[in-house]
Amino acid sequence: MTPAADGPAAAAPATTDVADRATAAFRSGYDEQPAGRWAAPGRVNLIGEHTDYNDGFVLPFALPLRTVVAASPRPDEHWTVRSEIADQPVDFGTAEVDTPGRVTGWGGYVAGVVWALREAGYAVPGARLAIASDVPLGSGLSSSAALEAAVLTALVDLAGLDLPTGRRPRLAQRAENAYVGAPTGIMDQSAVIRCRAGHALFLDCRDESVEHIPFDLDAAGLAILVIDSRAPHRHADGEYASRRAACERAAALLGVPALRDVPAADLDDALGRLPDDETRRRVRHVVTENQRVLDTVALLRAGRVPEIGPLLTASHASMRDDFEITVPEVDTAVEAALAAGALGARMTGGGFGGCVLALVETDHSEAVAAAVTTAYAERGFPTPTTLTALPAPGTTRLPWLP
Ligand code: ADP
Ligand code: MG
């Protein structure tokens, strides 16, 4: 990972390695060595936006930014968690764990993982945990799933549980949906747990099947520039709910279980059966976006990486004009990146802020980042943060220290 020259990295400045920070926090917090350290990455979605809840396709990849948990088991059913973001540790026992929502704030993500494992019938050991992270919180790079995945994997390994990787995303998602109470699809947890270095994860949100698609940016002399738009999330929850409801209504009108069941070839016919322009535009986004994921996968399989650029840009136009989920900051970033020579650019994530990604020639990454920063300054937006990324591995146990 090389932070781009202009603007600080999207992460907290990595003055020391994140794994070292987790280890140091564990030692100073608990006055002992951790038994091990587990790392889970942030992620971005290359393409496939608002397709997940329409039973469609997404194509995320893991970022080189990671959350690391250092952990040790303890003999009782009690958990103590420290994070760099908080002065005080969070403590809880089975009484708090077994009542979803009881542990509030950031500790809820950890308690939720313990809860989800216990609810699925696994005996989870008590543990001491210390967390450090380079994944920015709340920027849409999925720090929440990284936290859940790192903790889940640590607890699974400490307990020696036989829990296949493919079943882990569901448990991490349950922690977030049912314990924390944040509605998310399966993409984030699947990506951070299952992604592989040098690959994107082609995920079918209907049956959760995955395929690892070679995404060798490095060999193509390319990189993905991730730009944190720093736009405040304006009304994001309500807008998300209304898009979701519109899609469900449209599927019902079209007589299909989900919009995924409308093939791109049948789009015109489907649009002709919808009652109003807004619904038609929402459907057109979802159907064409699903097809763009399939087209991107086909190009990547053929090793034609630079050619995915126009699909990324088309995805952005569809989100801006048809799904209406972009904001001036992200539109500005996309336009500036393209004008500076990016091969393609789009907002990534649910919308109304979050991050933009741009496919760039590695040598041009800094110039594209600088162009976005200049465009932001001209519009009076706060300086965006940028990061140049290649597809990184999913959740791993780190080799142990001396
Ligand atoms: P995103 O997943 O896009 O970063 P979310 O709102 O879904 O944003 O999740 C962010 C929340 O996850 C934080 O507010 C915090 O409660 C929790 N979280 C994530 N990473 C950490 C961490 N390293 N330490 C403590 N809490 C964290
Ligand atoms: Mg999240």
Residues 35 and 146 in one domain: yes
pLDDT of residue 102: 98
| Final residue before a domain boundary, out of 188, 215, 242 | 215
104 lines ligand 1 (CB under 6 A): no
User: Which residue's CA is the nearest one to ligand 1's atom 24?
Assistant: 83
- Residues 6 or more apart whose CB falls under 8 angstroms from that of 263 comprise 287
pLDDT at 184: 85
Q: Are residues 205 and 231 in the same domain?
A: no
Question: How many domains does the chain divide into?
Answer: 2
- Minimum CA distance residue for ligand 1 atom 2: 142
Residues 180 and 256 occupy one common structural domain: no
Query: How is residue 328 written in tokens?
Result: 């001036």
- What is the Cα–Cα distance from 228 to 395, expressed in whole angstroms? 23
Q: Does residue 9 form part of some domain? A: no
User: In Å, how far are 47, 242, 282, 349, 377 from 247, measured between CA atoms?
Assistant: 19, 9, 7, 17, 37
What's the pLDDT score for residue 13? Answer: 44
User: In this structure, which ligand is nearest to the CA of 228?
Assistant: 1
For residue 335, is it within any domain?
A: yes
Same domain, 155 and 269: no
In a domain, 400, yes or no: no
CB of 144 closer than 6 angstroms to any ligand 1 atom = yes
Shortest-distance ligand to the CA of residue 131? 1
User: Does residue 137's CB lie within 6 angstroms of at least one atom of ligand 1?
Assistant: yes
HSE-CB at 150 with a 13 A cutoff on CA atoms is: 35
State the distance from the centre of ligand 2 to the C-alpha of 140, rounded, in angstroms: 6
Kindly state whether residues 67 and 160 are assigned to the same domain: yes
208 shares its domain with 98:
yes
Q: Kindly state if the Cβ of 142 falls inside 6 Å of ligand 1.
A: yes
Rounded to the nearest integer, the mean pLDDT of the chain is 94
301 and 208 inside one domain: no
Q: What CATH number is attached to the domain comprising 149?
A: 3.30.230.10
Among 151, 183, 215, identify where a domain stops.
215
Q: Closest ligand 1 atom, CA of 67?
A: 23
150, 61: one domain: yes
Q: What is the pLDDT along the chain (402 residues), one digit of tens a residue?
A: 333 333 333 444 444 899 999 999 999 999 999 999 999 999 999 999 999 999 999 999 999 999 999 999 999 999 999 999 999 999 999 999 999 999 999 999 999 999 999 999 999 999 999 999 999 998 889 999 999 999 999 999 999 999 999 999 999 999 999 999 998 889 999 999 999 999 999 999 999 999 999 999 999 999 999 999 999 877 677 898 999 999 999 999 999 999 999 999 999 999 999 999 999 999 999 999 999 999 999 999 999 999 999 999 999 999 999 999 999 999 999 999 999 999 999 999 989 999 999 999 999 999 999 999 999 999 999 999 999 999 999 999 998 754
* Of 400, 288, 357, the residue nearest 46 (C-alpha): 357
Each as own residue / partner, the long-range contacts of residues 161-166 (CB below 8 Å, 24 or more positions apart, any chain) are 161/117, 161/122, 161/123, 163/122, 165/193, 165/194, 166/194, 166/208, 166/210
150 plus 30 within the same structural domain: yes
Please give the positions annotated as active site: 188
Domain boundary among 164, 183, 215: 215
Q: Is 85 in the pocket of ligand 1 (CB under 6 A)?
A: yes
Domain containing residue 30: 16-215
Which ligand sits closest to the CA of 149? Answer: 1
**CATH number of the domain where residue 274 is located:** 3.30.70.890
The whole-angstrom separation of Cα 271 and Cα 277 is 9
Closest CA to 379 of 336, 323, 326: 336
Q: Is the CB of 189 under 6 A from ligand 1?
A: no
Q: What is the C-alpha separation between 244 and 170, in angstroms, rounded?
A: 21
- φ, ψ of residue 110 to 5 degrees: the values are -75, -45
Residue-wise pLDDT for 347-392, tens only, equals: 999 899 999 999 999 999 999 999 999 999 999 999 999 999 999 9
Measured over the CA atoms of residue 149, residue 151, residue 154 and residue 156, the dihedral's sign is negative
* CB of residue 143 inside a 6 A radius of ligand 1: yes
**Residue 2 dihedral angles phi and psi, to the nearest 5°:** -125, 115
Is 230 in the same domain as 342?
Answer: yes
CA 114 to chain centre: 21
pTM: 0.93
Q: Which atom of ligand 1 is nearest to 176's Cα?
A: 7
Residue closest by Cα to atom 27 of ligand 1: 106
Quick one: 154 and 252 in the same domain? no
Same domain, 115 and 185: yes
Mutate to test the pocket of ligand 1, among 69, 106, 352 (most ligand atoms within 8 A of CB): 106
Cα distance between residue 9 and residue 2, in whole Å: 8
- Supply the pLDDT for residue 12: 44
* 5 Cα–ligand 1 center, Å: 26
